[in-house]
Structure 1
Amino acid sequence: MKLVVQVKLLPDEAARAALRETLHACNRAADHASRRAFATGVTGKQPLQRLVYGEVKAMGLSAQPAIHAIRKVAGAYATLKANLKAGNYGPEGSKRRQAVEGKPVRFCKDAAQPFDDRSLSWQIEARTVSIWTVRGRLRGIPFQCSPAQWRMLTAHRRGESDLVLRGGNWYLYATCEVPAPELGDPVGFLGVDLGIVNIATTSDGDRHAGRRLNQVRHRNRRLRQRLQKKGTRSAKRLLRKLSGREARFAADTDHRIAKQLVTEAQRTCRGIALEDLGGIRDRVRLRKPQRVTLHSWSFAQLGAFISYKAVLAGVPMVFVDPRHTSQGCSECHHVSRSNRPDQSTFRCTSCGFAEHADVNAGRNIARRGEVVWAVSHAADDAA
């Protein structure tokens, strides 16, 4: 499986200037290739490369950076096409969709740029890198990372690395190919119910409350509104300073929760069962005050963190149908809206079973996980 390791570069002032000029040059070339792709309708990697390779090289890029700039453009158009097909920009004929379809993809001047091993080399023992720039090859740029990241780079780094400028600091995102351990046969499943009030609740009764995260989001939302309304230069400067802080806090929270869940499943020799919540924002209809909370819910990020941590730990993982997990009784399986009188309470109107609503949902998810695992492995054995 592929993992990304982020390391921080420590360039001097001259190297910083060269790296910035390199990003600007690569993204100017990408913008040119994007305009040509839009005008001609040629967006595939190989056809676009044949069309604009000479033009991009003439803009000051060497062979490999030119190829990667063109491939970055082709990837952006492939993503745009997938989003249009999925209806993420609205139905055909809508103003938003017409605005997106009516202009070429643009790249900001500091957008990330991929480098392969021909234009970027790692000296991992010395903790330095050598990278191509428009001013020539820069050698011996130091980087810093944690001991775990250093071990990952030493053992598993493969393929491309992305040069990223974020918050005035330079980073490299290195791709690592990590062999996944074989999955064992679980003795059961740990059901995990994802929510907003409680970010994650397990079938064992452990609840990871979302109160702190929701407070941070609410405070930041009000602060952004005040600063945007004020509109002064200092207010805009503070908005830039605050940019990304909430997302980093949410990501750190999700990482911690995912690690705890995977560790518990591994300790008890169980798999993890999650609800398949894809498309929930399109299915759910809420009052206007609740929409912001729903659309800031990072369930997909938490699910992705649990997935890759589970693979690394050799913990089986399945996704189950989320329908009626919160309305069905985990004891007698009776389904009714009346079973859920409020957010935190579950009381079965058929058998009288009572439990915290999220814990009851986690138990239902765990049972469905066992069924999904059994059915999928029975099919594999038959094949």
Structure 2
Amino acid sequence: MKIVTQVKLIPEADQAAALSATLRTLNEAACWVSRVAFKRGIPREYELRKHTYAQLKELGLGAQAAQHVIKKTRDAYTTLKANIRAGNLGKTGSKRRIKAESKPITFRPNAAQPYDDRCLSWQYDAQTVSIWTTAGRLKGVRFLCSAESLKTLREFRKGEADLIERDGVFYLIATCEVPEPDVYEPDGFVGVDLGIANIATTSTGYQAAGRGLNRYRKRQLTLRAKLQKKRTKSAKRRLKERSRREQRHAKNTNHVIAKTIVTEAERTSAGIALEELTGIRQRVRLRKPQRVTLHSWAFSQVGDFIVYKARRAGVPLVYVDPAYTSQMCCECGHTDKRNRVGQGLFICRNCGVVAHADRNASHNIAARGAAVWTAGRESRVPATP
């Protein structure tokens, strides 16, 4: 499986200036290539190369850098077309879709730039890299990472790495091909119910409450609103300093939750059953005060973290239909909307069982996960002679 490993570059002052200038030059070139692609109807990469490669070389770009600029631009249009086809930018005629289709794609001055092994080489023992820039090849640029990340890079790095600049700090994001262990035969399934009040509730008893994260997000929202109202230079500086802080905090929380769930499943030789929540933002209709809470809910990120951690550990994982899991009794199977008395209370109208609503739903998800696994299992019936 493919994973990414991020390392932090520690360049000298002149090296940092060269890296920053390189990113600006390459992204300006990408914007020009994008305008050519838009004007000519977004041709194929080979055709786009015929119209732009010679001019990029005249700008002083190396052969590989010019190729990557063209490929990056073409990939951006491929992604845009896929998003339009999937309906992620709205229906035909919507303002968002018209805006996306009516102008060429632009790239930020510090947007990521891909590097291959011809433009970038790694010296793991010295923890340095040699990297191409518009000012020449920079050698001995130091990088920092954890011992585990360094081991992953040394053993499994394969393919390209992206150079990015974030708040004046440079990072390299490398692609690593990590072998996947064989998936074992599960002894039951751990059902995972994802929510807002409780980020994740499992059928084994683990519950990750969302109270702390929701309070943190509400506090960050209030602070951002106060700073935005001031409209002073210091307020803007503080907003820039605080940018992405909430995102990093939520990401770390989701990593911890996902690791806890996968470790528990691996320890008990169980599989993991997740709800298929694709398109929930489009399906669910809420009042205006509740929309911020829903769209701040990183349920997709939690699910993605659980998926890749399960794959790395060899834990079986299946997706199940989430319909009526919160209304169906896990004991008798009776389904009624009135069974869900409150946010955290479930009382079955048929058998009278009383349970935590999310815990009840997680048991239903676990049962469906076992059924899905059995239905998809390879037949063990002897062949007919």
For normalisation by structure 1, the TM-score amounts to 0.98
Give 2:112's aligned residue.
112
Q: In the aligned structure 1, how far is the partner of 2:379 from the partner of 2:61?
A: 52
Aligned length: 383
Give 2:27's aligned residue.
27
Give 2:191's aligned residue.
191
Aligned partner of residue 325 in structure 1, secondary structure:
coil
Q: In the aligned structure 1, how far is the partner of 2:37 from the partner of 2:202?
A: 49
Deviations 1:244-300 (A, max 9, x none): 000000000000001100100000000111001010010001111000000010011
Aligned partner of residue 15 in structure 1, secondary structure:
helix
Give the partner amino acid of 1:112.
A
Give 1:366's aligned residue.
366
Contact 2:276 2:322 in 1 (8 A): yes
Aligned partner of residue 132 in structure 1, secondary structure:
strand
Give 1:38's aligned residue.
38
Report the Cα offset of residue 329 of structure 1.
0.6
Report the Cα offset of residue 61 of structure 1.
0.8
Which segment drifts farther, 52-61 or 202-211?
Answer: 52-61
Give 2:353's aligned residue.
353
Q: In the aligned structure 2, how far is the partner of 1:33 from the partner of 1:109?
A: 14
Report the Cα offset of residue 50 of structure 1.
2.6
Summarize the alignment of residues 88-99 of structure 1 with structure 2, pairs less than 5 Å apart: 88-99=88-99
Contact 1:254 1:305 in 2 (8 A): yes
Q: In the aligned structure 2, how far is the partner of 1:382 from the partner of 1:46?
A: 53
Q: In the aligned structure 2, how far is the partner of 1:188 from the partner of 1:382?
A: 25
Deviations 1:285-321 (A, max 9, x none): 1111000000010011111111111011110111110
Q: In the aligned structure 2, how far is the partner of 1:59 from the partner of 1:296?
A: 43
Contact 2:42 2:77 in 1 (8 A): no
Q: In the aligned structure 2, how far is the partner of 1:138 from the partner of 1:161?
A: 16
Q: In the aligned structure 2, how far is the partner of 1:230 from the partner of 1:144?
A: 38
Q: In the aligned structure 2, how far is the partner of 1:24 from the partner of 1:381?
A: 63
Give the partner amino acid of 1:117.
D
1:335 aligns with 2:360: no
Q: In the aligned structure 2, how far is the partner of 1:380 from the partner of 1:135?
A: 64
Aligned partner of residue 87 in structure 2, secondary structure:
coil
Aligned partner of residue 201 in structure 2, secondary structure:
strand
Give 2:311's aligned residue.
311
Report the Cα offset of residue 83 of structure 1.
1.3
Summarize the alignment of residues 222-301 of structure 1 with structure 2, pairs less than 5 Å apart: 222-301=222-301
Report the Cα offset of residue 379 of structure 1.
6.5
Aligned partner of residue 196 in structure 1, secondary structure:
coil
Give the partner amino acid of 1:35.
R
Aligned residues with identical type, % of pairs:
55
Which segment drifts farther, 92-101 or 59-68?
Answer: 92-101
Q: In the aligned structure 1, how far is the partner of 2:359 from the partner of 2:302?
A: 18
Give 1:7's aligned residue.
7
Q: In the aligned structure 2, how far is the partner of 1:284 from the partner of 1:176?
A: 37
Report the Cα offset of residue 48 of structure 1.
1.8
The 1:267/1:20 distance shift into structure 2, 3 A limit, reads same
Aligned partner of residue 49 in structure 2, secondary structure:
helix
Q: In the aligned structure 2, how far is the partner of 1:42 from the partner of 1:382?
A: 55
1:82 aligns with 2:93: no
Q: In the aligned structure 2, how far is the partner of 1:96 from the partner of 1:153?
A: 40
Give the partner amino acid of 1:338.
R
The 1:197/1:382 distance shift into structure 2, 3 A limit, reads farther
1:206 aligns with 2:180: no
Give the partner amino acid of 2:271.
G
Give the partner amino acid of 1:359.
R
Q: In the aligned structure 2, how far is the partner of 1:381 from the partner of 1:37?
A: 57
Contact 1:130 1:138 in 2 (8 A): yes
Deviations 1:166-186 (A, max 9, x none): 122111001100010010110
Aligned partner of residue 241 in structure 1, secondary structure:
helix
Give the partner amino acid of 1:278.
T
Report the Cα offset of residue 154 of structure 1.
0.9
Q: In the aligned structure 2, how far is the partner of 1:230 from the partner of 1:310?
A: 46
Contact 2:340 2:357 in 1 (8 A): yes
Contact 1:43 1:77 in 2 (8 A): no
Deviations 1:308-351 (A, max 9, x none): 11011110111110100111111111111100010000111011
Aligned partner of residue 278 in structure 2, secondary structure:
coil
Q: In the aligned structure 2, how far is the partner of 1:43 from the partner of 1:307?
A: 36
Report the Cα offset of residue 59 of structure 1.
1.8
Report the Cα offset of residue 43 of structure 1.
4.0
Q: In the aligned structure 2, how far is the partner of 1:249 from the partner of 1:142?
A: 27
Give 2:177's aligned residue.
177
Q: In the aligned structure 2, how far is the partner of 1:382 from the partner of 1:52?
A: 62
Give 1:150's aligned residue.
150
Give 2:139's aligned residue.
139
Give 1:167's aligned residue.
167
Contact 2:120 2:129 in 1 (8 A): yes
Report the Cα offset of residue 382 of structure 1.
10
Deviations 1:214-241 (A, max 9, x none): 1111111111112122211111111111
Report the Cα offset of residue 362 of structure 1.
0.5
Q: In the aligned structure 2, how far is the partner of 1:381 from the partner of 1:179?
A: 31
The 1:89/1:220 distance shift into structure 2, 3 A limit, reads same
Structure 1 unmatched runs, 5+:
none
* Runs of 4+ that moved beyond 6 A: 379-383
Q: CA-atom RMSD, angstroms?
A: 1.4
The 1:381/1:246 distance shift into structure 2, 3 A limit, reads farther
For normalisation by structure 2, the TM-score amounts to 0.97
Structure 2 unmatched runs, 5+:
none
Deviations 1:112-153 (A, max 9, x none): 101000000001111100000000000011111101001101
Contact 1:182 1:314 in 2 (8 A): yes
